[in-house]
Amino acid sequence: MNTRRAVFPGSFDPLTNGHLDIIKRSAPLFDEIIVAVLNNPEKNPLFTVAERCRMIEEILPQIETDGCDFVVDSFSGLTADFAKKSGASAIVRGIRAVSDYEYELRMALMNRRLEPTIETVFLMAAEEFSYVSSNLMKQVFTLGGRVEGLIPALVEAKMKEKISHK
């Protein structure tokens, strides 16, 4: 039997409840999902790739999996290359708004050109997370705003540690 494997790529800096919602809702579609943390130092990350991977690994066991296995990995470079190397048949992407769709459509078409055997699966964000982004969460948090319910409690605690040490 062929394993239906997908890659869910992102910076996850920080992981949000919107990301977790996409992971939960994609679980019934695949046998295995690789949560792939992008190493992109140009984004000025709050957490290192290793820190992001550890947080995700700690949080994922709390997710209802519907029999789907989760793997956390990191990568640099093209998502299509990582997906092919990982044996994935799909790339999962969440879409919050029309602006996301336009960007994600371009990326999906380029990924299809690079790796025609890998499909991109779009999932619409749940309404309550349609405005949540990692950058917005960092911005609100560093300015003293409340982010509970929008990011996992573990992530919020780690953000408090990071910000207090700066």
Q: What secondary structure does DSSP assign to the chain, as a single string?
A: ----EEEEEE--TT--HHHHHHHHHHGGG-SEEEEEEE--GGG--SS-HHHHHHHHHHHGGGS--TT-EEEEEEE-S-HHHHHHHTT-SEEEEEE-SHHHHHHHHHHHHHHHHH-TT-EEEEEEPPGGGTT--HHHHHHHHHTT---BTTB-HHHHHHHHHHHHT-
Q: Is 19 a catalytic residue?
A: yes
Q: Is 43 a catalytic residue?
A: yes
Catalytic residue among 25, 54, 84, 96: 96
Catalytic residue among 5, 11, 19, 26: 19
Catalytic residue among 26, 52, 134, 158: 134
Q: Is 26 a catalytic residue?
A: no
Q: Which residues are catalytic?
A: 19, 43, 96, 134
